Amino acid sequence: MKIAIGSDHGGFALKEYLKPLIFELGHELADVGCFSEESVDYPEQARAVTGLVKKGEADRGILICGTGIGMSLAANRVPGIRAALCHELFTAEMSRRHNDANVLCMGGRVIGPGLAWEMVKIWLTTPFEGGRHERRLNLIDPNSY
Ligand code: RB5
Protein backbone atom coordinates (compact mmCIF):
# COMPACT_ATOMS: atom_id res chain seq x y z
CA MET A 1 0.00 0.00 0.00
CA LYS A 2 0.98 3.61 -0.33
CA ILE A 3 0.87 5.27 3.08
CA ALA A 4 0.88 9.04 3.57
CA ILE A 5 2.33 10.01 6.92
CA GLY A 6 2.52 13.38 8.67
CA SER A 7 3.07 14.89 12.07
CA ASP A 8 3.54 18.13 13.89
CA HIS A 9 6.46 18.71 16.26
CA GLY A 10 4.63 16.78 19.03
CA GLY A 11 4.48 13.68 16.82
CA PHE A 12 7.74 14.09 14.94
CA ALA A 13 9.81 11.60 16.99
CA LEU A 14 7.15 8.91 16.71
CA LYS A 15 6.77 9.50 12.97
CA GLU A 16 10.51 9.09 12.48
CA TYR A 17 10.48 5.90 14.55
CA LEU A 18 7.63 4.35 12.55
CA LYS A 19 8.77 5.26 9.04
CA PRO A 20 11.54 2.67 8.52
CA LEU A 21 9.40 -0.05 10.12
CA ILE A 22 6.47 0.66 7.78
CA PHE A 23 8.88 0.74 4.83
CA GLU A 24 10.37 -2.63 5.86
CA LEU A 25 6.86 -4.15 5.72
CA GLY A 26 6.92 -3.39 1.99
CA HIS A 27 4.76 -0.27 1.93
CA GLU A 28 5.48 2.88 -0.03
CA LEU A 29 5.66 6.01 2.14
CA ALA A 30 4.90 9.64 1.38
CA ASP A 31 6.13 11.81 4.26
CA VAL A 32 4.48 15.24 4.16
CA GLY A 33 6.45 16.50 7.20
CA CYS A 34 7.12 18.03 9.53
CA PHE A 35 10.85 17.46 9.31
CA SER A 36 12.11 18.65 12.70
CA GLU A 37 10.89 19.37 16.22
CA GLU A 38 10.45 23.03 15.39
CA SER A 39 6.90 24.15 16.18
CA VAL A 40 4.41 23.87 13.29
CA ASP A 41 0.61 23.97 12.94
CA TYR A 42 -0.86 20.44 12.75
CA PRO A 43 -3.73 21.37 10.33
CA GLU A 44 -1.12 21.79 7.57
CA GLN A 45 0.08 18.19 7.77
CA ALA A 46 -3.48 16.94 8.30
CA ARG A 47 -4.52 18.71 5.10
CA ALA A 48 -1.58 17.28 3.16
CA VAL A 49 -2.12 13.67 4.25
CA THR A 50 -5.89 13.72 3.82
CA GLY A 51 -5.49 15.38 0.43
CA LEU A 52 -3.38 12.47 -0.80
CA VAL A 53 -5.86 9.91 0.54
CA LYS A 54 -8.86 11.80 -0.87
CA LYS A 55 -7.29 12.02 -4.33
CA GLY A 56 -6.40 8.30 -4.26
CA GLU A 57 -2.70 9.11 -4.32
CA ALA A 58 -2.34 7.26 -1.01
CA ASP A 59 -4.32 4.25 0.19
CA ARG A 60 -4.14 5.18 3.86
CA GLY A 61 -2.88 8.00 6.07
CA ILE A 62 -1.19 8.18 9.45
CA LEU A 63 -1.24 11.46 11.42
CA ILE A 64 0.58 12.09 14.68
CA CYS A 65 0.49 15.17 16.90
CA GLY A 66 1.03 15.52 20.65
CA THR A 67 -2.33 14.07 21.63
CA GLY A 68 -3.69 12.97 18.24
CA ILE A 69 -6.78 15.09 18.93
CA GLY A 70 -5.97 18.06 16.71
CA MET A 71 -5.03 15.79 13.83
CA SER A 72 -8.26 13.79 14.14
CA LEU A 73 -10.40 16.94 14.32
CA ALA A 74 -8.71 18.36 11.24
CA ALA A 75 -8.72 15.11 9.25
CA ASN A 76 -12.40 14.40 9.85
CA ARG A 77 -13.37 17.74 8.31
CA VAL A 78 -12.37 16.34 4.93
CA PRO A 79 -15.13 14.52 2.98
CA GLY A 80 -14.16 10.90 2.35
CA ILE A 81 -11.82 10.78 5.34
CA ARG A 82 -12.60 8.52 8.26
CA ALA A 83 -9.91 9.28 10.80
CA ALA A 84 -9.69 7.24 14.00
CA LEU A 85 -7.84 8.46 17.08
CA CYS A 86 -6.49 5.34 18.77
CA HIS A 87 -4.19 4.70 21.69
CA GLU A 88 -4.47 0.96 22.15
CA LEU A 89 -4.77 -2.18 20.05
CA PHE A 90 -8.50 -2.88 20.36
CA THR A 91 -9.67 0.42 18.92
CA ALA A 92 -6.95 0.35 16.27
CA GLU A 93 -8.27 -3.01 15.08
CA MET A 94 -11.96 -2.09 15.39
CA SER A 95 -11.43 1.19 13.54
CA ARG A 96 -10.69 -0.97 10.52
CA ARG A 97 -13.22 -3.79 11.07
CA HIS A 98 -16.23 -1.57 11.82
CA ASN A 99 -15.32 1.95 10.68
CA ASP A 100 -13.16 1.38 7.61
CA ALA A 101 -10.83 4.08 8.98
CA ASN A 102 -8.58 5.35 6.23
CA VAL A 103 -6.52 7.58 8.53
CA LEU A 104 -5.00 6.53 11.86
CA CYS A 105 -4.30 9.32 14.36
CA MET A 106 -2.07 8.87 17.38
CA GLY A 107 -0.60 11.02 20.11
CA GLY A 108 3.17 11.04 20.25
CA ARG A 109 2.99 12.35 23.83
CA VAL A 110 0.45 9.69 24.83
CA ILE A 111 1.84 6.33 23.76
CA GLY A 112 5.27 4.81 23.42
CA PRO A 113 6.84 3.67 20.16
CA GLY A 114 6.41 -0.06 20.87
CA LEU A 115 2.65 0.18 21.30
CA ALA A 116 2.34 2.56 18.36
CA TRP A 117 4.11 0.08 16.11
CA GLU A 118 1.86 -2.81 17.19
CA MET A 119 -1.15 -0.59 16.49
CA VAL A 120 0.09 0.39 13.05
CA LYS A 121 0.71 -3.25 12.10
CA ILE A 122 -2.78 -4.36 13.13
CA TRP A 123 -4.34 -1.28 11.52
CA LEU A 124 -2.59 -1.91 8.19
CA THR A 125 -3.58 -5.58 8.03
CA THR A 126 -7.15 -5.65 9.37
CA PRO A 127 -9.92 -5.66 6.72
CA PHE A 128 -13.23 -3.79 6.81
CA GLU A 129 -16.14 -6.14 7.56
CA GLY A 130 -18.67 -4.24 5.44
CA GLY A 131 -22.36 -5.28 5.73
CA ARG A 132 -24.20 -3.39 8.47
CA HIS A 133 -21.09 -1.30 9.09
CA GLU A 134 -21.18 -0.04 5.53
CA ARG A 135 -24.78 1.08 6.02
CA ARG A 136 -23.75 2.99 9.16
CA LEU A 137 -20.85 4.65 7.39
CA ASN A 138 -23.20 5.77 4.63
CA LEU A 139 -25.35 7.40 7.34
CA ILE A 140 -22.42 9.58 8.45
CA ASP A 141 -21.25 10.46 4.96
CA PRO A 142 -21.06 14.29 4.85
CA ASN A 143 -23.23 14.21 1.72
CA SER A 144 -26.06 12.56 3.69
CA TYR A 145 -26.54 15.54 6.07
C1 RB5 B 1 1.19 21.04 20.08
O2 RB5 B 1 1.72 21.59 21.22
C3 RB5 B 1 -0.07 20.25 20.41
O4 RB5 B 1 -1.11 21.10 20.73
C5 RB5 B 1 -0.45 19.36 19.24
O6 RB5 B 1 0.61 18.49 18.98
C7 RB5 B 1 -1.66 18.49 19.43
O8 RB5 B 1 -1.59 17.76 20.61
C9 RB5 B 1 -2.97 19.12 19.21
O10 RB5 B 1 -4.01 18.50 19.29
Active site residue 105: no
Closest CA to 82 of 97, 67, 29, 90: 97
**Closest ligand 1 atom, CA of 10?**
6
Instruction: Point out the catalytic residue in the list 34, 65, 86, 105.
Output: 65
Active site residue 98: yes
Section 85-113 average pLDDT: 98
Q: Which of 3.40.50.1100, 3.40.50.720, 3.40.50.2300, 3.40.1400.10 is the CATH number of 2-144?
A: 3.40.1400.10
Q: Is the pLDDT score of 48 beyond 90?
A: yes
Confidence at 141, pLDDT banded by 50, 70, 90: confident
Burial class (CB in 10 A: 0-12, 13-18, 19+), 95: buried
Q: Using one digit for the tens of pLDDT, what is the confidence trace for 20-30?
A: 999 999 999 99
